[in-house]
Structure 1
């Protein structure tokens, strides 16, 4: 009869350990699987959006490159088999923030993005700092 309490205690401890997944504690293998799946999804999305694999790596520096490539390659094969055309991205890239660090104002950044580096947003020409004051 002494085996019954030992077996009951063992079953109770196993039940508690199985509940760790319910608490949101991920094991190393579950974390690795999730990261690989996310990388594959990123790669597939990049291929579907007609992005080069190098651009995909650059845009997703924290993701695993092997997983991104696997997803990109799988989507490429799928699109070729089903004769699907890529869907170009609807949103453009974010504007570069390096000009702001160099001391340019937001108006000058907008004007430079429009291809008019000498004009401010209010329509007045920007002063040339190198020309000197008269």
Structure 2
């Protein structure tokens, strides 16, 4: 009976990977990969590394920098231009200001991420 119990426990412990329990190594590797992806995307979008850090506070800074640097080297070697981000929320605000309705657009209450995106777009334009 003890042998069966020991065998059952051994099988249960061996199946821990199938249960979705992540080891610290897997979590660290995932965070590093995410940070590198964030850094590469920031560089491709033409953002400064400081802006990238500010926008992604939870990401590992070393991994973000490594991804940013790798993408910078890749873009230089292959002569790839930056792709400037185009925010969906910034286009209607710009159109409204061209029509002379800019005052109403600025006075309207801003909510959530769209407002932050518009503010950033305005800051980058000036």
> TM-score with structure 1 length normalisation?
0.60
Q: Which residue of 2 aligns with 1:49?
A: 45
**Which stretch of structure 1 is more off in the superposition, 22-31 or 33-42?**
22-31
Whose RCO is larger (CA < 8 A, sep 6+)?
2
* Equivalent residues, number: 99
Q: Which residue of 2 aligns with 1:88?
A: 84
Q: Which residue of 1 aligns with 2:109?
A: none
Q: Which residue of 2 aligns with 1:127?
A: none
Q: Which residue of 2 aligns with 1:39?
A: 35
> TM-score with structure 2 length normalisation?
0.63
Larger C-alpha radius of gyration, 1 or 2? 1
Q: Which residue of 2 aligns with 1:99?
A: none
For the aligned residues, what is the CA RMSD? 2.9
| Deviation string, structure 1 residues 58-100 (Cα, Å, up to 9, x no partner) | 0000111001000000111111111111111122688xxxxxx
- The equivalences for 1:1-134 within 5 A come to 12-91=8-87, 114=97, 119-120=103-104
List alignment gaps of at least 5 residues for structure 1.
Answer: 95-109, 122-134
Structure 1 runs, 4 residues or longer, greater than 3 Å off:
8-15, 118-121
